[in-house]
């Protein structure tokens, strides 16, 4: 044995483990085997697994399968993880053995060794508290990791993503109200269209996010159904009579989520459908955010060679070579985040369809990817709200200038002079750079009082 190391054994043989490490032999094998990306599963997932371990210890104690000293030591060790005291012990790569066995054993070993320490015993003395026999009692990676994915994602969506989404929606709504009288040119196919207000345009953005909020909230509810208690394949092998009853009670108390057993534990263990369902509305949200971000980039383009109808906050210099250039940096950042989310949706779709027979082993990647989307969407929306949307200013004079020059106003005259004559008027107005009113007056196409009434811009936008 090397100095500063301890030896642990599993059925594959012995391994040297750093003496101060709380993880054990199976974690060390995973660290040796999977030096792939440097990416680790998120601490929210580790904490969700830990909540399950704490609930299981309580349930097994009630079922008299785990004595009170061991149960309390395990639960106290769980509390240490949940307080963030042992975060450094969880460094297994995202791209690890299927189903998340390495991650589950990482948690089991850390809890066992911390519990031993709490009981004033040496790390690695598994004759007293064993990672499999005691910490993992009545559990399998296949129900623990699966359930933890649901718990972690549900928690992050409800506590972070939905509130952040609502803040952005409210900020856009506030701008819509602020600019309800700022008349501008609408555009379709990137070409001039009939007039509208800047407020109406922003109200559309806010309404998109209202729908996103609703759909995300609805689909997230599917995550409250978990397969804990199904153990290896759904039969519940190695659980005791009242284990499910007690473990769900303890888990609800620990997580403060109203979790419920899946209707069919075989489906619940074999399928990643709820994960794909939970991510699907995040994809739609990303698509809407891309549309909003790109619209802001267009509307703020210029200032001399673009639309220049709005001004985004200047947050940093925009060029290393062109002085005084300011770019729509926050909107560009949001686009990149959303592109990643769209890619994540493809990854989750592939993970979901890759299940075989009684288990889908792609859980580590699916879990990481879903939590990644939640995390980057939450952070980017917060930044977009605070450092972009709230500081947008309307260039009212530029908006007015475009409207007054817009020959498409002739659209309002088509019920009176017909489509073809209206098209001829618009064509002349474009060619001669004159207003529609001037051409209609000159050609004496209709009564001037009626003309003034019809082309009242304030009425056209309603």
Give the model confidence (pLDDT) of 393-432 as tens digits. Answer: 999 999 999 998 888 888 998 999 999 998 999 899 889 9
DSSP secondary structure string, 407-433?
GGGGGGGHHHH-HHHHHHHHHHHHHHT
Residue 281 domain-assigned? yes
Q: Give me the CATH number covering residue 413.
A: 1.10.40.30
In angstroms, the CA 93 to CA 68 distance is 34
Beta-bridge partners for 183: 197
Question: Is residue 291, in this structure, part of any structural domain at all?
Answer: yes
DSSP annotation of 391 reads: G
Q: Give the whole-angstrom CA distance, residue 53 versus residue 45.
A: 13
Q: Identify whether 344 is part of a domain.
A: yes
User: Is 319 known to be catalytic?
Assistant: yes
389 and 412 co-located in one domain:
no
Final residue belonging to a domain, choices 108, 137, 166: 137
Among 137, 170, 189, the domain boundary falls at 137
The verdict on 336 and 370 lying in the same domain is: yes
> CA 238 to CA 299: how far, in whole Å?
62
pLDDT of residue 460: 84
Q: Is residue 235 part of a domain?
A: no
| Residue at 263 is within a domain | no
Sequence-ordered list of residues with C-beta below 8 angstroms from that of 239, at least 6 positions apart, any chain: 138, 229, 231
Question: CB within 8 A of 100, min separation 6: which ones?
Answer: 41, 141, 145, 363, 364, 367
Signed CA dihedral, 124, 129, 130, 136: sign only: negative
Provide the residue range defining the domain that includes 178.
Answer: 143-226+269-397
> Within a domain: residue 383?
yes
Same domain, 129 and 152: no
Residues 9 and 27 in one domain: yes
Do 157 and 102 fall into the same domain? no
- Cβ proximity of 171 and 391 under 8 Å: no
**What pLDDT does 1 receive?**
58
pLDDT < 50 stretches in the chain = none
Among candidate residues 58, 88, 319, 352, the one labeled active-site is: 319
Q: Is residue 238 part of a domain?
A: no
- Mean pLDDT, the chain, integer: 96
Q: Which residues pair with 185 in a beta bridge?
A: 195
Same domain, 288 and 366: yes
Distance, CA of 302 to chain centre: 32
Q: Kindly state whether residues 203 and 218 are assigned to the same domain.
A: yes
pTM for this entry: 0.95
Report yes or no on 247 lying in a domain.
no
Same domain? For 41 and 71 the reply is yes
Q: Judge whether 415 and 325 are in contact, CB under 8 Å.
A: no
The total number of structural domains that make up the chain: 3
Concatenating the DSSP letter of every residue in 164-217 gives HHHHHHHHHHHHHHHTTT-EEEEEETTEEEEEEEHHHHHHHHHHHHHHHHHHHH
Are residues 339 and 282 located together in one domain of the fold?
yes
pLDDT at 452: 87
Is 299 in the same domain as 193? yes
CATH code, domain with 128: 1.10.275.10
Whether residues 59 and 181 share a domain: the answer is no
Predicted local confidence at residue 433, as pLDDT: 87
Q: Does one domain contain both 113 and 148?
A: no
397, 418, 446 - which closes a domain: 397
């Amino acid at each position: 044995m090397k100095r500063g190391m301890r030896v642990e054994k599993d059925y594959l043989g012995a391994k040297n483990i750093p003496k101060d490490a709380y993880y054990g032999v199976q974690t060390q094998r995973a660290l040796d085997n999977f030096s792939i990306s440097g990416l680790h599963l998120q601490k929210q997932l580790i904490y969700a697994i830990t909540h399950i371990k704490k609930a299981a210890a309580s349930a097994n104690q009630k079922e008299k399968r785990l004595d009170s000293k061991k149960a309390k030591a395990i639960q106290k060790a769980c509390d240490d993880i949940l307080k963030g005291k042992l975060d450094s012990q969880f460094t297994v790569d995202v791209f690890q053995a299927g189903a998340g066995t390495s991650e589950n054993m990482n948690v089991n070993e850390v809890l066992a060794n911390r519990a031993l320490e709490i009981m004033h015993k040496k790390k690695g003395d598994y004759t007293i508290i064993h990672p499999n026999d005691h910490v993992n009692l009545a559990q399998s990676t296949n129900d623990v990791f699966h359930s933890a994915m649901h718990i972690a994602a549900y928690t992050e969506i409800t506590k972070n993503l939905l509130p952040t989404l609502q803040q952005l929606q409210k900020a856009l709504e506030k701008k819509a109200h602020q600019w309800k009288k700022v008349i501008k040119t609408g555009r379709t196919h990137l070409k001039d269209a009939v007039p509208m207000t800047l407020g109406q345009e922003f109200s559309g953005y806010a309404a998109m996010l209202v729908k996103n909020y609703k759909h995300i909230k609805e689909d997230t509810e599917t995550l409250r159904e978990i397969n804990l208690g199904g153990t290896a394949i759904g039969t519940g092998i190695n659980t005791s009579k009242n284990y499910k009853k007690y473990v769900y009670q303890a888990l609800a108390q620990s997580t403060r989520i109203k979790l419920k057993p899946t209707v069919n534990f075989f489906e619940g263990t074999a399928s990643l459908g709820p994960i794909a369902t939970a991510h699907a509305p995040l994809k739609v949200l990303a698509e809407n955010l891309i549309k909003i971000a790109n619209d802001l980039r267009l509307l703020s383009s210029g200032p001399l060679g673009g639309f220049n109808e709005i001004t985004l906050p200047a947050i940093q210099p925009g060029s290393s070579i062109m002085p005084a250039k300011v770019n729509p940096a926050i909107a560009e950042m949001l686009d990149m985040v959303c592109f990643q989310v769209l890619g994540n949706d493809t990854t989750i779709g592939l993970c979901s369809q890759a299940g075989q027979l009684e288990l889908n082993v792609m859980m580590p990647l699916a879990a990481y990817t879903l939590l990644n989307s939640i995390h980057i969407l939450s952070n980017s929306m917060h930044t977009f709200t605070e450092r972009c949307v709230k500081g947008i200013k309307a260039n009212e004079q530029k908006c007015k200038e475009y409207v007054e020059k817009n020959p498409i106003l002739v659209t309002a005259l088509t019920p009176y002079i017909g489509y073809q004559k209206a098209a001829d008027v618009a064509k002349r107005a474009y060619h001669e750079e004159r207003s529609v009113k001037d051409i209609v007056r000159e050609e004496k196409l209709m009564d001037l009082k009626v003309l003034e009434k019809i082309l009242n811009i304030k009425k056209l936008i309603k």
